[in-house]
Amino acid sequence: MGAQWKAKHKDLAANAKSRIFGKLSKEIILAAKGGADPDLNSRLRMVLEQARKASMPKDALDRAVKKGAGLTGETINYERVTYEGFTPHRVPLIVECLTDNVNRTISEIRVLFRKGQLGAAGSVAWDFEHVGLIEATAAQAGADVEMAAIEAGAQDFEPADEEGTARFITDPADLDLVSRALPAQGFSVQSAKLGYRPKNPVTGLGAAELEEVEAFLAAIDAHDDVQDVYVGLAG
């Protein structure tokens, strides 16, 4: 399951696109507070690229940039908050949220964690690495993941999955540099963000236990304020 959990068959859900666009809009708004020009704002540039890859409508994309940059007269303040804890069967996870009401979010997250355990700040973060995470697909026949990682300056890589998406791991400070270098190595970047990678993924759970963990993670991920879920589960 690796660094970032993804719901199985999420792409088949009827509201998947709108949920993805909603999450991307929040990221764009937050990034655009650092300036509306992507050439001068690397964080905004990476999020915009991710939004385009996800086929986010241009008018929605432009509207989010203007909102974040304060060009619409609206006051929108999203705060990034992180929660740590365990799923059922003691699998560690980190949940990143973007919210305009921290009190509401923590109250609702506590309810979702009833079948697991919500921990204090730092309770599981020590078991994760803070890294840059780049997802990319081969844009050229014969593109080699390992060679691309070496040439682009990534720290590590994970081979392409069944959908053809490889993951490149970077030092947080090198995220933009590596994402810019990968196209020259034959890879098309789908997303680039800072995130977490488990140091000691949990193994050995049975089918019934894994099903419980998946159900718990799906409920967390479905919350409107949740942006990303990072779980220390192997496989």
Tell me how far apart the alpha carbons of residues 4 and 132 are, in angstroms, rounded to a whole number: 12
Q: What is the pLDDT along the chain (235 residues), one digit of tens a residue?
A: 445 666 554 444 446 788 889 999 999 999 999 999 999 998 899 899 889 988 899 999 999 999 999 888 887 889 999 999 999 999 999 999 999 999 999 999 999 999 999 999 999 999 999 999 999 999 888 889 999 999 999 999 999 888 889 999 999 999 999 999 999 999 999 889 999 999 999 999 999 999 999 999 999 999 999 999 999 998 7
- Judge whether 62 lies within some domain: yes
- Judge whether 30 lies within some domain: yes
Tell me how far apart the alpha carbons of residues 180 and 38 are, in angstroms, rounded to a whole number: 14
- What is the CATH number for 22? 1.10.10.200
Note the pLDDT of residue 4.
Answer: 64
Domain with 31, as residue range(s), is: 10-68
- Here the tokens at position 216 are 């718990």
- Judge whether 74 lies within some domain: no
Q: pTM of the full predicted structure?
A: 0.87
Beta bridge partners of residue 156, listed in sequence order: 169
- Judge whether 152 lies within some domain: no
Tell me how far apart the alpha carbons of residues 47 and 98 are, in angstroms, rounded to a whole number: 15
- Here the tokens at position 131 are 């890294």
How many percent of the chain have pLDDT more than 90?
76
Note the pLDDT of residue 234.
Answer: 86
- Strands 128-138 and 79-86 turn out to be unpaired
- Judge whether 100 lies within some domain: no
Note the pLDDT of residue 6.
Answer: 66
Please name the residue ranges forming H helices in the chain: 16-32, 42-53, 58-68, 102-112, 145-152, 175-181, 207-221
The number of domains in the chain is: 1
